[in-house]
Amino acid sequence: MKKITKAVIPAAGLGTRMLPIARTVPKEVLPIVDRPAISYLVEEAADSGITDILIITGRGKGLIEDYFDYSLEYENKLRMSGREDQIEGLRSIANRCHIHYIRQLETKGLGHAITYAKTFVGDDPFLVMYGDDIIFSEHKPVCAQLIDAYEKYGKAVAGVKEVPLELVMKYCTLKADRIAGNVYNIETMIEKPTIDQIYTRFSILGRVLLTSEIFDILDTLPPGSGGEIQLTDAMKLLAETKGMIAVDFDGTRYDLGSKLGFLMANVEQGVKNPEFGDKFKEYLKAFAATL
């Protein structure tokens, strides 16, 4: 069985739910406290043993590349002010993984974006980390949880959680039977189901581990919901033919494509910040008392 060393992060979407700021700042680089959102994905991948990441970008997303680069101007400024000890911290951002980039020339759906990773992936299994989904785990990163399931069962894996019915209809629904603990066998799935199509309240949230067979499926897949090439439709066929596993992962997921999710993620990381977390908690308690 091949070791999982590659991850793909689709980050070409326009981010219309984050307008008006998304007109000028890619949603992937909006800050969670003092780091851009996408850096949390890269760190999760690196903490899970990933060595190579392909970020699929689009027009206006150059700030993503700038962040994962050396910042010579800032390094010189730090040297001049006697803070050379901070330079290694800035460089480590760029050094944790080999990061590659490719542009999706048209935004025609998540499945279409993944086809751009075919040459990068080759025949290897790989992780897909949805650019809108930040997941904070107290113990093992979600990517590592999916890798564990792949190594045990030898099948593609979807990270899932139960969500309210209104969100199932926005995401997807799985028909799945428990194998053991938090692991399920996926029989099939439906993207954006109607209320009468819902199998369970399990939806895929932000992390999947796929095998290279997905590319042959995507190559012949017709447009689905919204007239786009849907990755969920391809995974449905993969589950029905080669088989696929679901892991009800340990972690809290935030939708960084929404303003509420963005604010909630900032609050969670703010209270955990070693520099000012305690003072921030005091402020939140005082503020909550006024509501």
In this prediction, residues 97-124 reach a mean pLDDT of 92
CB of 270 within 8 A of CB of 33?
yes
Choice between 58 and 204, residue whose per-residue pLDDT is larger: 204
With residue 212 as reference, give the H or E element that holds it.
Answer: none
Q: Identify the pLDDT of residue 72.
A: 73
CB of 147 within 8 A of CB of 2?
no
> 241-259 burial, b if ≥16 CB within 10 A, otherwise e?
eeebbbbbbebebbbbbee
In this prediction, residues 204-228 reach a mean pLDDT of 91
Q: Identify the pLDDT of residue 77.
A: 78
d(CA 220, CA 235): 13
At residue 46 the predicted structure's pLDDT band, cuts being 50, 70 and 90, is very high
In this prediction, residues 168-188 reach a mean pLDDT of 94
Domain covering 6-277: architecture: Alpha-Beta Complex (3.90)
Choice between 144 and 138, residue whose per-residue pLDDT is larger: 144
In this prediction, residues 74-84 reach a mean pLDDT of 76
Above 80 in pLDDT, residue 92? no
| Average pLDDT of the residues of the chain | 91
Measured at the CA of 262, the angle between CA 193 and CA 73, to 5 degrees, comes to: 130
> pTM of this prediction?
0.92
In this prediction, residues 216-226 reach a mean pLDDT of 89
> 69-82 burial, b if ≥16 CB within 10 A, otherwise e?
eebeeebeebeeee
Above 90 in pLDDT, residue 223? no
In this prediction, residues 5-20 reach a mean pLDDT of 89
Q: Identify the pLDDT of residue 174.
A: 95
In this prediction, residues 142-146 reach a mean pLDDT of 97
Q: Identify the pLDDT of residue 189.
A: 95
The residues pairing with 142 across neighbouring beta strands, listed in sequence order, are: none
Q: For the chain, what are the domain ranges?
A: 6-277
Above 90 in pLDDT, residue 276? yes
- Type of residue numbered 100: H
Q: Identify the pLDDT of residue 23.
A: 86
d(CA 267, CA 117): 34
